[in-house]
Every structure is written in structure tokens, then in C-alpha cells.
Amino acid sequence: MRLPGRVKLIEVGLRDGIQSEPRFIPTERKVALAHAIARAGVPMLEATAFVHPRVVPQMADAEAVTARENRAPGIAYAALVPNRRGAERALAAGVDEIRCVIMCSETFNHRNVQMPVSESLRQAAEMARLAHEAGVRFVGGLGTAFGCPFEGAVDEKRVRSLVAALVALGVDGVCLSDTTGMANPAQVERLAGLLLDQWPELPVILHFHNTRGAGLANVLGGMAAGVTCFEASVGGIGGCPFAPKATGNICTEDTVHMLHEMGVETGIDLAALLDAARLMEETLGRELPGQVLKAGPRSRLFPAT
């Protein structure tokens, strides 16, 4: 298997991970979690979403979480934005990167943002313009890129046409999301390879959910195609609030452990990352899905008694 020497991981636990949590997590605890994740050497944190608090109450403190005085050192802050107003708020807060998500599925896009894909693209163009005028990176996300729970299979030509539309906007990267865990490694390798063949200079990011247990296998499929940037969530928490039977993202510490065991560098301190996962587990008050958090790393040995 062809493997990269190094992979970049983007932590999404403070956005995608906690967005569906029914109990509001205090701002100071979110800030503490961001600092714990930064201490592990994670290079980028999707810290929040600038959405209406009525839609996602957990993100009501977006400005406070990203306030300069609350920022963790040494880590870039990204934020998800759904529209121009969200982009304006995020840029005023001084985030390092803003991101949008457009669903490849019309049904899911309506369910997610109550508009057709064509309108989401129009708004993405405006958000990209605002971001670049402010000197801030803009990444276009494509949800349900590997399948939709309402429409089923998503045609790869549809995905490629939407990537082409985002490239035409001058995006600084494209993130393909397996929103409800419908992908398989062969599918991931094929689609990511098609995109990298057509746009070899385009930064492609992959975002997987572990709904059906294929998340880490899909990371391998992405690496086999040449992708070197992935998103993951500490503790393996998360799930889209607008999708049926949604479960968590791939787990950051499990992903780091696998990559390091395979000789792929991440620049992340696994022990410090496990400390951040324990803090998340304490914050949520329940056992989290992450496996390395339970079993410990492979190097952990037990007495033979």
C-alpha cells in the first residue's frame, strides 16, 4: 500500500462532535478542551459554527469560544458558517479559516439549510469573496459525498461537478464528507483519485463517520489515493443532527494511533491527546466510543499473572 510520510489531522470535536449534545457545555469548558487539544500538537481546530442558536443551541457562544483572549496558542482556528451572516460573524471574530458545507444530495441540503444546492453555491460564492477580501482561507465542504440516507447512492459525476463549481470560486480546499457513514474504502480511493487526477494541486480533505464501522478503513482508502488531510473528533463523538441514526466521527486518538503504528507521522502527541479525550469524557459524563482511550496504545503491556 502506498502511504504518505505525514498526514495532517483537523480536530472537529468542538463543532461536529458536540453540536448534537442536549446539555449546553459551558464556554469555559469548551475553551479548556481547545487548550488540551492544542497541547497535543493538533495543527487545526474546527472550534465552532456561526449559526443561529435556535438551530444549533450548542453553538450559541461561538464568539466567546473564538475570542482572542480564549484562544489556545499554536493551533489554527476554523469555523463552520452556513451563510453570509455567519461568515461576517466569523470574520469579525478573527478566525483563521471559514468553511461551508453544501450537500451533494438536494434532499439533505433542504433538510440541513432549507435551500436548494444552487442557492447554497450562490451563497458560497459570496462567502468566499468575503473571506478572501479579509485574507482568510475559505474551504468548501461537500456533505453526503459518498451516499445520502434519503436518496441513496450519489453519482460521482455529481460530486465532480460540485467540486468544479467550488474550484471556480477559488476555494482554498475541498472537504468531502461521508455524513452518515455510507462509504467504503474502494469507493473512497476511486473518488478521491478521480478528483486528484483532475485537480492535482487542490487540497482535498476527507471527513468520515464511523456509523457502520468503516471509518479508519476509509482513511486508508483516502491515503491510497494520495489524500494527506483528514478530519477526526476526539473520543469519536459526533453525528449530524439532521440525519437519521447518525453516529460519531472517526476518533482522533484512534486515527493517530493507527497512523503512528503504520509509520505515518502526524506531529501529534498521543499521550497528550488521550488526556484531551479523558477531559471530553469527563465533560460529557459518559463513556466515549474511542477504543485507544479504553485499551491504551499498543505499546502498553500488562503483567502476565
Amino acid letter at 105? S
Is 229 noted as a catalytic residue in this protein?
no
Q: In which residue are the cell numbers 453519482 written? A: 155
Q: CA 179 from chain center: how many Å?
A: 10
Distance CA 183, CA 145 (A): 9
Closest CA to 128 of 65, 173, 63, 162: 173
Q: List Cβ neighbours of 260 (8 Å cut-off, separation of 6 or more).
A: 266, 270
Joined together, the cell numbers standing for residue 188 give 473512497
Which uninterrupted H or E stretch holds 88? helix 84-93
DSSP 8-state class, residue 67: -
Active-site position among 100, 104, 240, 251: 240
Catalytic residue list: 240
